[in-house]
Amino acid sequence: MSAESWFKISLPGIPVAFTIFGVWLYWGDNPIPLLPPSIAFWGLMILFYLFSHLYIPDRRLPLLLVIFSSIFWLVASITSHNLGGFLSSTRYSGPMSVLRDKDFWYAYICSVVGCAVGIWQFFRLEPLIVDQIRRDRRMIPREE
C-alpha cells in the first residue's frame, strides 16, 4: 500500500476529525448527531477516488456501490438531523437515552456500512491503482 493512496483517502476524513476535535473537544458540543453524515461521506469519497482512477470494463458493480453508498449517506444525514432534534428535546436524559432512539441506530449503522464499503473496496483495489500509476510513470519520457 502506498503512502500516497493513504493520504488521498485520508483527506475526505477531515470532516470527521473536525467534528471530533473542533465540535467536541474545542467547543464542548455533543458530536453524536454530527458524526454519521461525515463518516458515510468519507466512504463515498473513497469510492469516488477509486472508481475515478480505475477502469473496470463491463461491470456494474462500481456504479451500484456508489449509488448504494450515496443512499446510506442520505439516510445517515436525515436520521442524524432527527437525532439532533432528539438531543435538544426533553426526552434526552444522557448518553444511555440515545441508545434507545431508533434514529441513532439508523444513522450510525448506515454511516458505518457506507464507510466500510469504501474502505473494503480500497483494500481490494488500491494495489491495482498503484500498479497502474507505476506503469504510467514509467511511460513518461525523462529529460536529463
Half-sphere exposure of 44 (CA within 13 A, CB side): 18
Predicted TM-score (pTM) of the model is: 0.83
How is residue 54 written as a grid cell? 480505475
How is residue 64 written as a grid cell? 451500484
The length of the chain, given as a count of residues: 144
Whole-number pLDDT of residue 144: 65
Average pLDDT over residues 59-74: 90
Report phi then psi at 26, rounded to 5: -85, -55
Whole-number pLDDT of residue 118: 93
Q: Where are the domains of the chain?
A: 3-139
Helix residue spans in 1-144 (DSSP H): 3-10, 14-18, 35-53, 61-87, 95-98, 102-139
The amino acid that residue 32 corresponds to is I
Tell me: the pLDDT tens digits for 78-114?
Answer: 999 999 999 889 998 888 899 999 999 999 999 999 9
Tell me: the pLDDT tens digits for 115-126?
Answer: 999 999 999 988
